[in-house]
Amino acid sequence: MAGPVPLTASDPTRLGRWELLGRIGAGGQGAVYLGRPAEPGAGPSRVAVKLLHAQLVGDADARERFVREMAVLERVAGFCTAQMLAADVAGDRPYIVSEYVPGPSLRALVHDQGPRTGAALDRLAISSVTALSAIHRANVVHRDLKPQNVLMGPDGPRVIDFGIARAFDASATMTSQVVGTPAYMAPEQFTGRVGPSADLFAWASTLLFAATGRDPFAGGPLPAVMYRILHETPDLGALPGPLAEVAAACLAKEPQARPTSEDVLLWLLGESERHARLEIPTEHPTEDFAGPTAPVPRSASEGEPWPAPGPAVQSSPEQTPTWSGPPTSAPAPPSPEPAPGTGPAPGPAPAAGPAFGFAPGPAPAPASLPRSPRGVRTLRRGPAVVAGLLLAGVLAALDVAALAILIARPSLSEGHRGGLLPVVASSFAVVAVVTLVGVILAWRGSRAAAGTVMAARVARVAMWAAWGALVEIQPAALTGHALLTASVVLLLVRGLSRSPV
């Protein structure tokens, strides 16, 4: 790995209490320096200092992204990225100080040592998707995952450069300006729709690069790259069987067809047969990205040498351009290849290297996963569903206990109310049993059972209100039970809305 280069006259020598030793690299947002504490013993011996470019200091949007990167770094677990140590984003020279990871980027490693194979590829896949799971659990979507942004540290891969990352609401997909590196963007990113599933598409592309040394969708002008991403599937033959199945699912054109990062981790650990969340439907609609498939001309030969990468950096270097532009529709198929004898169109070879071979058409469905019949919707056991089902189960159990206590009261068995007591008791018992059975079936993935649980809880509140004609019921108790039931309904509705099609 190439080390830091000496500072130039235009580089600062100190920022705050940090002394700068050399330049590690630079990206579109800022330059990254190797630094150390100006006072010995005031911190780690080596740090990475990211300084916002001077020409962007007056740019409100650029400064806002820089501040957002700091906020994201504070949220993400330290084991999966270069942990933030200090920052000054309010001054004239905004900078962020983070842990220095002594290791090359994945792109530099593959260029120097060749593609990853065997156990090395397996370790990369599992450790990198573990880091991605931690990022998503922090409610952050990276939006620019690529080989340059994966540092191969001595203790495992670290995902870096959160300059365009965003915090996301677990109940919605973000809609924003189109940003990212085109060759590693998911199809929906070209229309400005971004969610955690876009990171899974980029993760699979990054994994394929690690196994082949080639960017799976790069090569040629931007419309050609977009067309490949929207309509073509890269050849996954370089990946071993299990990894090929995972990559095929993550490269699905529709975001809802992709597994989550946690699903992928369980899949790689051999849990696919035992975990209901991995029931990915066989077919998915593709209205948003439908279109004809056709071969895409390559703009560089397979034998063309690769460009040498720059030094490994802790911020995305400008080897592969990061694109920021307005949402766009799917591009038309690229023009056909030139006629024999006319030669290739003039122009520089793409910086990302030669184009990768493609097999037109959608990715084959992984054969080892349990499948859902076409049109069947399964219930994803996310946080909202888990909370709703547990609350419903606890309420049903409390209903049974409360019913036993009420029946034991002598006043209920006297007079005309005594004849109605068996009917009321049995009806409440039935509702409680239906709720508990529904909870069990919904936990196993049944959407219909979740609806039954909601209906049973609403019926329980209505029955209790009607029972007020026989037994004195405190209005506060009835109101509290109604609020708990409303919480169950809202949680389950939210979970149903986020379950895959």
Residue 274 CA to residue 421 CA, distance in Å, equals: 45
Is 92 known to be catalytic?
Answer: no
The DSSP bridge partners found for residue 193 are: 175
Residue 382: what residue type? G
Strand positions, DSSP E, 214-304: 232-234
Sequence-distant (≥ 6) Cβ neighbours of residue 13 within 8 angstroms: 7, 19, 20
Q: Could you tell me the sign of the dihedral formed by the alpha carbons of 151, 156, 162, 166, in that order? A: positive
Contact in structure between 88 and 139 (CB atoms under 8 Å): no
Phi, psi for 354 (deg, rounded to 5)? -65, 155
Dist CA 145 CA 161 (whole Å): 9
What Cα–Cα distance (Å) separates residue 55 from each residue in 29, 60, 333?
10, 11, 38
What the block records as the tokens of 106 is 């994945």
Amino acid letter at 482?
A: A
Q: For residue 493, report the phi and psi dihedrals to the nearest 5 degrees.
A: -65, -40
Which residue among 11, 59, 92, 144 is the active-site one? 144
Strand partners, 96: 50, 87
Nearest-angstrom CA–CA distance, 247 and 241: 10
> Could you tell me if 154 and 134 are in contact, meaning their C-beta atoms sit under 8 angstroms apart?
no
Q: What amino acid positions are annotated as catalytic residues?
A: 144
